[in-house]
Structure formats: structure tokens, C-alpha cells
A and B are shown apart, each in its own frame.
Chain A
Amino acid sequence: MVDVKKLEYYLNNPLMKRIVELKERNFADKDQFEDAPVNYDDAIENYKRILAITDDVAKTIIEPNSESVDQEGPHLENNRMVYASKTYENLDATRKAGLWGISMPRRFGGLNLPITVFSMLSEMVSAADSGFQNVWSLQSCIDTLYEFGTPEQQAKYIPRICQGETMSMDLTEPDAGSDLQRVMLKATQDADGTWRLNGVKRFITNGDSDIHLVLARSEEGTRDGRGLSMFIYDKRDGGVDVRHIENKLGIHGSPTCELVYKNAKAELCGDRKLGLIKYVMSLMNGARLGIAAQSVGLEQEAYDQALAYAKERAQFGKKIITFPAVYDMLSRMKAKIDASRAVLYQTARYVDIYKTLEDISRERKLTPEERKEMKKYSRLADAFTPLGKGMTSEYANQNAYDCVSVHGGSGFIMEYKAQRLLRDARIFSIYEGTTQLQVVAAVRYITNGTYLGIMREMLAEDVCNCMKPLRDRVAKLVDLYEEAVEKVKADENQDEHDFLARRMYNMTGDIILSLLLLRDATNVPEEFAKSANVYVRMAEEECVGSHAYIMNFKADDLSNFVAE
């Protein structure tokens, strides 16, 4: 489970001051709302208190329920989804604890927390049960409704989410998975202007939720993304049946539904035709950060399980934790967690700043400095989100795999938690954009030099003396990276470029996460120095290999790979 004290380190980041200032509009709520903070310290104290509440709910209710939820899973009853019975207990506890409407303004009944803090809560809930984390954290869909809905829609729906009603985003269909441009669910208007939805959605997480955001084709005759709009479907209106619940490898606490829309009444959210290109992109960026947090939580739980087992289990007359082959795995797991947190919270902070400035811009005109700030952080958030989602979700899988390895044969036995973590983690690098799609989202920042600029800037930062040798080694990796990227660009072959993109992405992630960890190790050496040491070594191992792979690659070599 997640140690709250460890998370408090990330609350001390210097950017938090700016985030709180923006999010609290200089503490304008303090005379109107009894729960509003009166100053920066008070806001941070509130965040810590909410971390403690979530910690309590996660450890005393959600985690103890997790095994039963995994075994029971959801089921279908009269075209409705019924959660595993203990999921209702989890929902009730999170509602009583008031952990709904996390990011929403207080005037709607929300907690007005930054996404950075929301990500911490998500991490804790995920460590307890990553399937339930989906059901709970999908409340962040409300951010998109808040951003693009009318004042009437905000007033109608946001208070309901703050009371604990659940959400889903109904995007994918049988023929539209990664390629959402192919969405066919039909949206038509009655004579009185009422929108009606007809068609099928598939693989919808928490698909029988109270309030849905739905991507549908509103422009008849169109075939691409420009014909899609976003709609709000309210379960109270009826018209959507659950036809099937998927039987999945993992995250059994998170029901995955196939939905049939039968002339379901819906409201248009935002402008027509901007459904995919604007609103789904907004939804996705939030969801990807959510999966990064989910990944980090599971990484931590996998490490805890492995560590506890390694300390207990003796072979050859010794505890297995004393064997180099075992502590090699454990140290890598730990380093991946620390690197993952570094990128998760860095991304979250960037998102907080630009999203909050964007929100303020709807209340008043931003100053030129604020506009510049918003642009800067928006660009950083765009560059960091695919790195965060891709790297952490792959690490979650690796940690779950190593957790089973440390357990040996016991890891393969259903009575141990290790196997569940392995099953649960597998989806993280698939849904909300596969790792391969994160590479696609990141690649333009690789080729246009955005990441390289960030690396060079971070390399120029001061690090503590003990980190200087490691920093110099990372500097060498940056040179290799630059050389590899230049080589791919110079070859000017699109197929080769796409083929090598994953290696370039991995190098990018390795280097940026290394640099973030050096920063953390400089701040708190006793907490992060070991992980920095282990992680930079892993980065070297992978970057040198990827560099060789890329440098020796010619477009002609592709013929050896094309599958037939």
C-alpha cells in the first residue's frame, strides 16, 4: 500500500505554490465555504488530511474487499449491470468520506482539489484495488462537462457527481477502438430539437454509470472525426441497455459493458463536430493521467508484496532477499516506482497550471504573462502525458511480472495476490491509448526537439555532489539520444521512422525519468539516491542498446520484419 508520508514529498514541490494560488483564486472562497482554505499552508494541510482519509478508506475497506470483488465480479441482471457486492461497500465508503467531485469548484459541492492531489488519491485507491480505482476515478469525466457544458448542464450534473453518482465515457465501438474516427453511433434530432442516440458501444468501462459522455455521429453522411459530437446521456432518462458484460483477464472490479442505445434521449455537450477533435482529446488526457496514477499504485503494491515475501521466504538456509538475483529485481521495482511518481506528478503539476489558467480565462481576461504561462505548461503537459502514461503502465506490468518471479511457484498460485496484480496490470498499457499510441503522441516532440530541449535544460540544473557522477552519465545518454534521433530524421523514411519510434520513445522516457529522479535525489538523498543510482544504470542499459539498434538500422532492414 502507498505510504502517505512518501506522497507528502510531492506536495512540497515549488510549483505547488502556484497551483494552489491559481486553484484557490487567491483564497476567494474562504468567507463563503467553511471547508475552503485561508492560505497556502492551510490548503496543503487540507490536502494532507484528504490523503489520510483516502488512506484509511483504501486500507480498511477497499483493500480488504479486493479479493472478494476479484472473485465475484459484476454480472448482468435484466439488462442492467450489477457490481460485485463488495463494490457497493466501497462506493458507500467513498461517498461517506466525501471523495467525490474531487476537482470540482465548491459552488457545485466539490472539493476543488488540484489534479496533482487527485492523482495521489488515485494511486492510493489503485494500490488497494485497481479495478475499483476505475469506477471511482472516472468521476474525472466531469472535468470535460465542466469545461465545455452550458451553465445549465453544469448546474444539473456536477452536483450529482459531487454526491457520488458515477460516470463513464462511451467512446469505443466494435469497429472503432484505437481508431475513434470510425465511430458510428448515430445522433439525430427530433423535430423539437431533442437529440436521440441509436447504436452500439463496446468495451465501455463502468458502462452502466449514472451519467455518460458519449461520442456519436451527429453529421449524417460524414465518415471521419469531423462528423462526431459529444453528448450527455442521463441514466434517469433511460434508453440504454447493457447487452453484455465482458469476462476479462483482470480488473474484475471494473465492469466492462456493451451498450445498446435505443432512441436514447441525450443532450449535446459543447459544439457540434468538435466531439473527437476537442472534447475526447480533453477526456483522454485526463484519463491517461488517471491510468498513470493507477499504474503507480499497482507498481507499489507489487513491490510491497514481493518485498514482504522475500523477507519471509527462506531457501538454501537464507532469506531469499539476501540473494543478488532477488534484490536485483526488488531494487529495479523500487527504482521504477520512484521514477514513475516523478513523471506522474510532474505531468500532473503541468496539467494543473495550464488547466486552471484556462478555467480562469473563462472568468476574466488573462494577462499577457498568464497567457504565456498557460501556453508553456500546456505544451509541457502535452509532451509529458504520453511519456507518463506509457512508461508507468509498462512499469506496472514489469513490476507485476517481477512480483510473481520473486514469489517463485507461489506467485503462480491463485491464493497469492501476485497473480491478481499481474492480471490487473495487463490492461494498463492497452486502454486509454495503447503504449504504441503513446509513442505516436510523443513522436512529434521527439523529432521537433522538444524533449531534447527539456533534457538539456534539466542537465544544466544543479545537482548535489553525490549525484554529479550520475548526471554526467546521463549527459552521455543525451548525446547518444540526439545522435539516434538525428539519424532517423536524416534517413527520411516514414516506415523506418515509425518502426524505430518505440526505441526513441523508450530512450526519451529513460532519460527524462532519470533526470527527474536526480532532482528528487538532490532534494532528499536518503529517500531517492539509491533509486537514482539503480534507475540511471537501467537507462544506460536500454539507451546504449537502443542507440546501437537505431544506428545500425537501414530502411532495407524492414523487409526482415514485415509480418506475412
Chain B
Amino acid sequence: MKLNIVVLAKQVPDTRNVGKDAMTAEGTVNRAALPAIFNPEDLNALEQALRIKDLDPENVKVGIVTMGPPRAGEIIRQGLYRGADCGWLLTDRKSAGADTLATSYFLSKAIEKIDKEVGHVDIVLGGRQAIDGDTAQVGPQVAQKLGLNQVTYAEEVLKIEDGKATIRRHIDGGVETVVAPLPVVITVNGSAAPARPCNAKRVMKYKYATCPMERKGDEPWSDLYETRPYLTLGQWSIADCGADYEQCGLAGSPTKVSAVKSIVFQAKESQTLTSSDADIEGLVKELLDKNIIG
């Protein structure tokens, strides 16, 4: 069965091991001080895509779409190293400063373009959320803009059959299995299977693969770009995707960050209660008075 899968992936600062200089004086993330990595839950999403591909490698195609500055081309390479077939970097000066609304707009326009020009898109997979924003909004917004079904918090795509995807998703206190007709947008939870390692042969094959904007032109291997077309990765601007500048980047982002505060939770006062009837009755009364229970 022919199946085209797009994996949405983001390059993020590694906020898992932060040092002292992780934040700027203004309270924003100091991207220069943190290594740029493949957003962890996007790796879980990629693994789900590759597992579908494993079942029918010839007919299932996996493409990576990432939005970011030229260096985010590394995300596409990381995808290719693990088994993806191709990828597109969405890069444009005017897409800088995008919030989730503007990001999902640009992504959805790119998916529409892939659907029209490359091949019908059956499944869009992405991580639940990125570790630099933790919003979990982009996947659902992409589904909304494309008018597609969406399944969030997925842990495993169990099967694709008769134009339907059966998906196990993580819910509070357990899991549930849902069936969704294709095309569908699926966001994957961090509790899903981890991504496979990079493959030696694929790394050797694709190690010099770059988007045109990543190139300086004086690379010792420049002449390979002439003879090996697979070393040139897809790269699209806002205009390439037929998107509206007003809805991209800062211009298309209604979200405004007014302030960032560092919150430290601490117990200011505490009281000790025993299991005596009097103490318990006192507590219940207090909770009722403060409308915490009722």
C-alpha cells in the first residue's frame, strides 16, 4: 500500500541539561549557550513513521519537514541517517519570531505543497510538544488548518489498514485505542518507543547533504553536489509555499511575551496534623470554609 508520511520536527536548544548561562538577562532562552538538538518527542514521532515504513519499505515514504534557520538542516540529516527518504527545510527571514499560530500556518502550507506536488500526504506525525515552548499546540493547529483528523498523545501506531489508522494513545490513568480515517495528524508522546540509532551506511551516504542556504560554496566536497542529487535537501521559503507573509513570523504571531519569571516553589508555612478526630475535623472545616472542597 502506497503511503506518504510527513514528520514535523523542530531543532530546539537542549534544555534538559542547563547550566548557569542558559537564560539571558532578559529572561529568554540563551540559544547560543545550549546545544541544538532534535526535539525529543519529534524523535518518538519519527520512530513511529519509520516503523510503518519498516513494514513496506518500498511503498512507504517518510519526509521530514522542519522550520528554522539554515542550520536546522541538521534535523533533516538526522532524519535521513535514521531512515527517512527526504526532507524540506522551511526557512525565511520573515518567518522568524513565529508563535505556534504562525508556525502551524507555514507548516500547513508546506504540507499542502507536498500533497499537491510530491504526493498525497496520508499521515502527518509530530512530537506532542517541543521542549523549548511546551505548548503542544502546533500539531493540533496544523490539523485544524488542513481540516484533518487529529490524534494526540499517541504512544503507538498499531496498524494502518483500509484507509484507517489504529492508534494507542496515552490518557490519564491508562491508555485507549482509537481508529481514525486517513489522512490524519498524530502527535506522539514521549512515552512512545525511542528513536532508532543512526545507521552507519546512511550516515556515510548523507553526511554532506545540505540545504542550499547551509553552503558556503568552498566545501572540499562541493563537486559532489553536481553528481549526487540526493545531497541537496529541499528548502522552501514562504513564497515557495504560496503562503501569506502577513500570517508568518512575527507579523502573524498574536502571542506577546510580556515577562518571564523564574518561579521557585517553596513551602512558606506548614502545619502538622495528627490522625486524631479533632485534627481531621478541623482540616475538613478549613477546606470547606476556603471553598477548596464542597
Q: Which residues of A contact B (CB under 8 A)?
A: 34-38, 41-42, 45-46, 49-50, 53, 56-57, 60-61, 93, 96-99, 111
A96 near B204 with CB under 8 A, answer no
Which among A35, A60, A99 is the interface contact of B204 at CB below 8 angstroms?
A: A35
What residues of chain B lie closer than 8 Å to A42, measured between beta carbons?
221
Bound state CA distance, A57 and B228, in angstroms?
29
Max count, chain A CB within 10 A of own CB: residue among B199, B201, B203, B228 = B201
**B 12-32 contacts with A by CB, 8 A:** none
> A558 to nearest B CB, angstroms?
54
A45 near B200 with CB under 8 A, answer no
Task: Give me the 5 closest cross-chain CB pairs, A-B, nearest first.
Answer: A35-B204, A98-B200, A97-B197, A96-B196, A34-B205
25 contacts between A and B (CB under 8 A): A35-B200, A35-B202, A35-B204, A38-B221, A41-B220, A46-B204, A49-B203, A49-B204, A50-B203, A53-B197, A53-B199, A53-B200, A56-B197, A56-B198, A57-B197, A61-B197, A96-B196, A96-B199, A97-B199, A97-B200, A98-B199, A98-B201, A98-B202, A99-B200, A111-B200
B207 at the interface (CB under 8 A from A): yes
What residues of chain A lie closer than 8 Å to B200, measured between beta carbons?
35, 49-50, 53, 97-99, 111
Bound state CA distance, A98 and B200, in angstroms?
5
> B31 to nearest A CB, angstroms?
23
> B147 to nearest A CB, angstroms?
36
B197 near A111 with CB under 8 A, answer no
B224 at the interface (CB under 8 A from A): yes
Nearest A residue to B223 via CB reads: A38
Nearest B residue to A42 via CB reads: B221
> B195 to nearest A CB, angstroms?
10
Interface size on B, residues (CB 8 A): 16
Nearest B residue to A97 via CB reads: B197
A45 near B207 with CB under 8 A, answer yes
Nearest A residue to B54 via CB reads: A96
Which among A41, A53, A61 is the interface contact of B203 at CB below 8 angstroms?
A: A53
**B 180-214 contacts with A by CB, 8 A:** 196-205, 207
What residues of chain A lie closer than 8 Å to B205, measured between beta carbons?
34-35
B198 near A35 with CB under 8 A, answer no
What residues of chain B lie closer than 8 Å to A96, measured between beta carbons?
196-197, 199
Bound state CA distance, A99 and B197, in angstroms?
11
Known pairs A35-B201, A97-B199 / 14 extra A-B pairs, C-beta < 8 Å: A34-B205, A34-B228, A34-B230, A35-B200, A35-B202, A36-B204, A37-B204, A46-B204, A46-B207, A49-B207, A60-B197, A93-B196, A96-B197, A97-B200
A97 near B221 with CB under 8 A, answer no
What residues of chain B lie closer than 8 Å to A98, measured between beta carbons?
199-202
Q: Per-residue 0/1 for B243-258: is the Cβ within 8 Å of any A Cβ (1 yes, 0 no)? A: 0000000000000000
> B218 to nearest A CB, angstroms?
15
What residues of chain B lie closer than 8 Å to A41, measured between beta carbons?
220
What residues of chain A lie closer than 8 Å to B230, measured between beta carbons?
34
Bound state CA distance, A380 and B156, in angstroms?
55
Nearest B residue to A106 via CB reads: B201
Nearest B residue to A36 via CB reads: B204
What residues of chain A lie closer than 8 Å to B224, measured between beta carbons?
38
Bound state CA distance, A60 and B220, in angstroms?
33
> B207 to nearest A CB, angstroms?
6
Nearest B residue to A49 via CB reads: B203
Max count, chain A CB within 10 A of own CB: residue among B197, B203, B207, B230 = B197
> B17 to nearest A CB, angstroms?
14
Nearest A residue to B196 via CB reads: A96
> B185 to nearest A CB, angstroms?
26
Which among B196, B201, B221 is the interface contact of A111 at CB below 8 angstroms?
A: B201
Nearest A residue to B50 via CB reads: A96
> B231 to nearest A CB, angstroms?
10
Nearest B residue to A61 via CB reads: B197
Max count, chain B CB within 10 A of own CB: residue among A34, A41, A60, A99 = A34
Nearest B residue to A47 via CB reads: B204
Nearest B residue to A34 via CB reads: B205
What residues of chain A lie closer than 8 Å to B197, measured between beta carbons?
53, 56-57, 60-61, 93, 96-97
Bound state CA distance, A41 and B224, in angstroms?
14
What residues of chain B lie closer than 8 Å to A34, measured between beta carbons?
204-205, 228, 230
> B216 to nearest A CB, angstroms?
17
Bound state CA distance, A46 and B224, in angstroms?
16
Nearest A residue to B200 via CB reads: A98
Nearest B residue to A102 via CB reads: B200
Bound state CA distance, A131 and B203, in angstroms?
27
B198 near A53 with CB under 8 A, answer yes
Max count, chain A CB within 10 A of own CB: residue among B200, B203, B224 = B200
What residues of chain B lie closer than 8 Å to A49, measured between beta carbons?
200, 203-204, 207
Bound state CA distance, A93 and B198, in angstroms?
10
Nearest A residue to B228 via CB reads: A34
Nearest A residue to B220 via CB reads: A41
> B170 to nearest A CB, angstroms?
22
What residues of chain A lie closer than 8 Å to B220, measured between beta carbons?
41
Bound state CA distance, A99 and B201, in angstroms?
9
What residues of chain B lie closer than 8 Å to A56, measured between beta carbons?
197-198
> A335 to nearest B CB, angstroms?
32
Nearest A residue to B199 via CB reads: A98
**B 216-246 contacts with A by CB, 8 A:** 220-221, 224, 228, 230
> A1 to nearest B CB, angstroms?
16
What residues of chain A lie closer than 8 Å to B201, measured between beta carbons?
35, 98, 111
Max count, chain B CB within 10 A of own CB: residue among A53, A56, A57, A61 = A53
> A48 to nearest B CB, angstroms?
10
